[in-house]
A and B are shown apart, each in its own frame.
Chain A
Amino acid sequence: MPDLLIELFSEEIPARMQARAAQDLKAKVTDGLVEAGLTYAHAGAFATPRRLVLTLEGLLAHSPTTREERKGPKVDAPEKAIEGFLRGAGVAREDLEEREDKKGRTYYAVIEKPGRPAPEIVAEVLEATIRNFPWPKSMRWGAGSLRWVRPLHRILCILTNDAGEAEVVPLDVDGFTAGDVTEGHRFMAPEPFSVTSFEDYAAKLKRAKVMLDPEERAEAIWNDATNAAFAAGLEVVEDRGLLAEVAGLVEWPVVLMGEIGAEFLELPPEVLMTSMKEHQKFFSLRNPKTGRIERFVTVANRETADNGATILAGNQKVLAARLSDAKFFWENDLRIAKDLAMAPWLDQLAHVTFHNKLGSQKARIERIAALAREIAPEVGADADLAEQAARTVKADLSSEMVGEFPELQGLMGRYYSEAAGLSPEVAAACEEHYSPLGPSDAVPSAPVSVAVALADKLDTLTGFWAIDEKPTGSKDPFALRRAALGVIRLLVQNEISLSLIDACISAQFGVDTTLMDLEKANPNSPINLRKRYAEAAQIEEKDLRKIEVKAIDKGALSTAIKNLRKLTERPDQVAEKLVELRLAEDLLAFFHDRLKVHLKGEGVRHDVIDACLAMPQADDLTLLVKRARALQAVLSTEDGENLVQGFKRANNILTQAEEKDGVEYSFGADRKFAETEAETALFDALDAADAKIGPAMASEDFPAAMGAMAAIRPELDAFFEAVQVNTDNEILRRNRLNLLSRIRTVCLQVADLTRLEG
């Protein structure tokens, strides 16, 4: 069985696209071949800066012949029907067979598709692959119309039989004729050569200074770099992304270790690492004892007669120029931090627009400062420190270093705050207040950092909500989902109880002030707050009540609603509160959605969360998550699962009776009417449970409360086994319904179990 080798040789393919392209080549070609009936035993795909390569072992030499029978119309069917059948089956009249059938003589078409030789199929599949290749970005070149990631130069496509003889697959794509020829390294071995098999190709490439396998190149780079570092008493700062990228920039990696000028060694290690990585694609070498970055590793694409001396000297020179810039920025920045306490930076932020509908960065800082101050007591932070931190954390955005390397924002703030002699809490907040960024990013726990981080994110969310820039579908240009998840993780991991409704309303106070200011400056501003309030003021009294009731239903009874009632004689203020409250509720629903996604990852069912959302204070996410986790835990026990079934049975009977009788059975059951032992036992069990649930609920120990509830399960089961609730004796019936009501009350304390599925 033959082996197939394909190489698509081009000008330099962007490093970031190579791995995906190799996989796409493999998928497209093998899918096409298999679909045409050519199976294979093994496939391998590789990429270098100048080539995409696919090798298939054990390919069928021919696709198998296929035979398909199709039943047609009866022999005496109308001519039209027979003609239609012939067209559909693609056969001639004389090719039809007549066979005796249950219904009489019927035409049959036997369509035989003869197998085709592999070269023919490979040529078709490869041409289609080249023409429809899924590059993220492709281009035309010269006078041609073919598209490739960069100009394509050669197509190598051969089939090698078991005797080792190679055959070029006949293929021509827009003037590119497939052959058996390739080239080696651009500079070290540029002469073309022909190959007869994959083994021959790989061996000749290696001789021509091309390491075909990207993993081999990455491994060689990593080994040589760590060895060089080790010999110098240093370690390589691991960076997988950089390693993969560098392996995609070279065909013949040569690791060179270089020096960083002594005058730059005092720069913060992050600055050195970022500058070297971003501009030069250098690896940083760290002194494990001091944590300082002392040298670098660069990867050249060739060997030279002077063992890389010229290359290294050039690289060091370029680095020195880059680091002179960085040093210049660092020293200027430090001066502004030390001598002027960063004041000029904050002044500059007045001229930097955060978003054209949400004002300047400075206005935003004012908002965050006020909000951080308000949140501070809730998270155990000193209010003055939180406010000071909030007024400091964005200052570094104006620094020259962050202007050059935006990814160093926050971190530079920490360095500059330290230089300015600010307290360690403030310095830490500079670095930490952006966190958590991703779902696995660490969550800060220092109270001042937490206060500023929450204020920052809540201001962002409230602001974009106020100007109606909410995320839709896959569009989330302002990363609001990430901000919401950040708030959730900050609250839950630090076990902070905070009313999000209240916090969002506080945040809106700041946002509204900004919007008013923008309106004053520009009467035609797109967000007209007064107009919005005026519209809201049109809302009638009954609508007002409806919104209140909805808020209470959601468990979001907040001070704002209480205030609302006091303010009914001031319609404009009521309207304002209404707008705020609506927005806060909408935002809360967004938080709840994100929370569901987040907890799903923990294995908490969405209906479990729904059951907990129905409880009071659902805008306190820490409380909500405690409930949800407790409920989820108890549901995974047998007692818990059965308790829910028992509860639902009790609840159904009770609800039906209440609807039928038009009364609420909540008078309390009386033990003296207990007829059977099962009933008495249930009374006992409920008394015992109540004794435990009360204190557990008081201390928000939901697992203990749920455990106590689950403990009544045997008595509840026995009760239903032994007792008929809807008995003819009205007194007994009422008492039993009141008993069920007690069960409902007990069971609904942690979550609304009626909302559980199943």
Chain B
Amino acid sequence: MDNRDTPQSFQEIILRLQAYWASKGCAVLQPYDMEVGAGTFHPATTLRALGSQPWAAAYVQPSRRPTDGRYGENPNRLQHYYQYQVIIKPSPRDLQELYLGSLRAIGIDLELHDVRFVEDDWESPTLGAWGLGWEVWCDGMEVSQFTYFQQVGGHDCAPVSGELTYGLERLAMYVLGIDHVMEMPFNDPSAPIPLSYGDVFRQTEEEYSRHNFDHASTEMLLRHFEDAEAECQKLLEAPADDPKMQRRIVMAHPAYDQCIKASHLFNLLDARGVISVTERQAYIGRVRALAKMCADAFVTTPAATGAA
């Protein structure tokens, strides 16, 4: 591997992915400003995968999985991590080639490595969404998820979006040859103030692990879950025509924010261990019902239909 070609830090890998996908015509968006479990929850994916309008976006999404917290001690597991997400609608014919190009861009020499597409169908019970695709293996290591969306919120996707998700920490550790995530250089190791991933996140991992497992107050979470659910329903039940502006303004996105909230609150409740196996299904069903209502609303809006 040519040294000039090898990234030196976590952020360099992110920057290269941003530059690569920008050069391929994607709008480089910023992370969504809410707590989500995965990049897919960003409305730029969930909602924009619906409707007839073309779309191409790429973004980093901080993601939270409260049950994966390990107090910063586990080499691979984090309760807060980053995903890189690319979504293009309709999925271009050469999406696999475009994807392989992104691996080259972050310094993976495809002449020396073994990249494979291994069946892995994607399903999100909370979003009522599914698609077919693969997990992409590089030398036996899963480096990305590759999915052709078929349904979101119970709606058929037409045209179909192609979605790529990179688990950034894992991918970067692989490219940089790091064994423990906390030891990974976050910025350039030769910078005046070199920072490791641990310098940035070890303490927060510890604090949030304690919070998620033992201190997040479950009564409040339950109450907020109910509130978010009620608010989501209320927003969508409001008449589509806004009396003040004298036009149709469906509040699909604000309602979807409440759906995202409910989903994250459920994840926290799950981490606190207060949800039994039977209740689990019921909670997932409630979030899915919200996602479906949001999708029903979004498909009537201009961003989905293309109507002026």
Residues in chain A within 8 A of chain B (CB atoms): 11-12, 14-16, 49, 137, 139-143, 145, 149-151, 153, 187, 249-250, 280-282, 298, 300-302, 304-306, 310-311, 313-315, 317-319, 321, 324, 352-353, 356
Contacts and interface: CB of A to CB of B under 8 A. Distances in A.
A38 B246 CA distance: 68
22 contacts: A11-B117, A12-B117, A12-B134, A14-B119, A139-B131, A139-B150, A140-B160, A142-B92, A142-B160, A143-B158, A143-B160, A151-B93, A250-B116, A304-B111, A305-B112, A310-B109, A311-B139, A313-B139, A314-B139, A314-B174, A318-B139, A319-B140
A356 B131 CA distance: 31
Contacts of B158: 140, 143, 145
Given A137-B121, A353-B276, A142 B115 contact: no
Range, interface on chain B: 35 or more
A137 B117 CA distance: 17
Contact of A321 (B75, B119, B131): B75
Contacts of A12: 116-119, 134
Given A315-B139, A321-B75, A143 B117 contact: no
Interface in B91-107: 91-93, 96
B140 A142 contact: no
A137 B93 CA distance: 20
Given A142-B93, A300-B114, 9 more contacts: A139-B132, A141-B91, A151-B93, A187-B111, A249-B118, A280-B140, A313-B139, A314-B113, A321-B76
A314 B115 CA distance: 11
Nearest to B112: A310
A12 to B, nearest CB: 4
Contacts of A352: 277
B159 interface: yes
Nearest to A139: B132
Smallest CB-CB A-B distances: 8 pairs: A314-B139, A14-B119, A12-B117, A143-B159, A315-B140, A143-B90, A300-B114, A142-B90
A315 B138 CA distance: 9
B148 A139 contact: yes
Contacts, number: 101
Contacts of B111: 187, 304-305
B114 A139 contact: no
A575 B138 CA distance: 66
Contacts of A305: 111-112
Determine which residue in A298, A310, A314 has the highest number of CB atoms from chain B within 10 A of its CB, and name it: A314
B141 interface: yes
A140 B150 contact: yes
Interface in B55-104: 75-76, 90-93, 96
A353 B278 contact: yes
Interface in B219-257: none
Given A11-B117, A306-B112, A314 B278 contact: no
B234 to A, nearest CB: 31
B110 interface: yes
Interface in B172-209: 174, 179
Contacts of A139: 131-132, 148, 150, 160
Contacts of A301: 114, 116
A153 B96 CA distance: 12
A162 B90 CA distance: 44
A691 to B, nearest CB: 65
Nearest to B54: A143
Nearest to A302: B114
A150 B147 CA distance: 10
B119 A16 contact: yes
Determine which residue in B92, B132, B133, B278 has the highest number of CB atoms from chain A within 10 A of its CB, and name it: B132
Interface of B: 75-76, 90-93, 96, 109-119, 121, 131-134, 138-141, 148, 150, 158-160, 162, 174, 179, 276-278
A405 to B, nearest CB: 18
A310 B139 contact: yes
A13 to B, nearest CB: 8
B107 to A, nearest CB: 13
Contacts of B160: 139-143
Contacts of B133: 150
A141 B112 contact: no
A562 B285 CA distance: 51
Contacts of A306: 112
Contacts of B117: 11-12, 49
B244 to A, nearest CB: 38
B113 A150 contact: no
A272 to B, nearest CB: 15
Contact of A311 (B75, B96, B113): B113
A151 B95 CA distance: 10
A239 B116 CA distance: 21
Contacts of A14: 119
Given A139-B160, A142-B90, A304-B112, A298 B140 contact: yes
Contacts of A145: 158
A187 B76 CA distance: 30
Contacts of B116: 12, 249-250, 301
Contacts of B112: 304-306, 310-311
Contacts of B113: 304, 310-311, 314
Nearest to A298: B140
B162 to A, nearest CB: 8
A301 B113 CA distance: 10
A145 B110 CA distance: 33
Contacts of A143: 90, 158-160
Contacts of A319: 140
Contact of B96 (A11, A49, A249, A353): A11
A135 to B, nearest CB: 10
Contact of B91 (A151, A250, A281, A314): A151
B292 to A, nearest CB: 20
A460 B229 CA distance: 39
Contact of B140 (A49, A153, A304, A314): A314
B140 A318 contact: yes
A15 B119 contact: yes
A12 B100 CA distance: 14
Contacts of A321: 75-76, 179
A16 to B, nearest CB: 7
Contacts of B110: 187
B271 to A, nearest CB: 16
Contacts of B162: 141
Contacts of B75: 321, 324
Given A142-B92, A321-B75, A314 B132 contact: no
A306 B112 CA distance: 7
A142 B159 contact: yes
A153 B92 CA distance: 12
A149 B148 CA distance: 11
A222 to B, nearest CB: 19
Nearest to B141: A318
B139 A141 contact: no
Nearest to A315: B140
